[in-house]
């Protein structure tokens, strides 16, 4: 996974954040996090081919916890600069906008 923080601001004071993820065998990849009430169906990633996935989000400044959901499997971002423990015994990735 690679996360690019693009500093595009719009009138709503949100930033465009590009999130990238790699998973060679996944048929579907979604993102669930504090920004979408942990509903993976709300944020589908776009396949780029060769196991690469991308999604652009417009988020207001703040800290957001998230996980990738690849074919139903919840996966922490291996390249996240920050993680926090979650109540299920794993970790959530953290992005700061």
* pLDDT number for residue 40: 97
Q: How far is Cα 32 from Cα 95, in angstroms, rounded to an integer?
A: 13
* pLDDT number for residue 2: 43
Residue 16 pLDDT > 60:
yes
Residue 71 pLDDT > 70:
yes
DSSP state of 45: P
Which domains are present in the chain? 2-92 (2.60.40.10)
CA trace torsion 40, 41, 43, 47 (10° rounding):
100
pTM metric for this prediction: 0.85
């Amino acid at each position: 996974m690679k996360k690019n923080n693009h500093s595009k601001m719009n009138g709503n004071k949100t930033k465009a954040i590009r999130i990238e993820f790699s998973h060679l065998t996944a048929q579907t990849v979604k993102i669930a996090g504090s920004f979408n009430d942990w509903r993976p169906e709300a944020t589908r990633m776009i396949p780029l081919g060769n196991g690469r996935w991308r999604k652009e989000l417009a988020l207001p400044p703040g800290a957001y916890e998230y996980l990738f959901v690849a074919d139903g499997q919840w996966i922490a971002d291996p390249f996240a600069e920050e993680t926090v423990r979650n109540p299920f015994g794993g970790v959530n990735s953290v992005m700061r906008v």
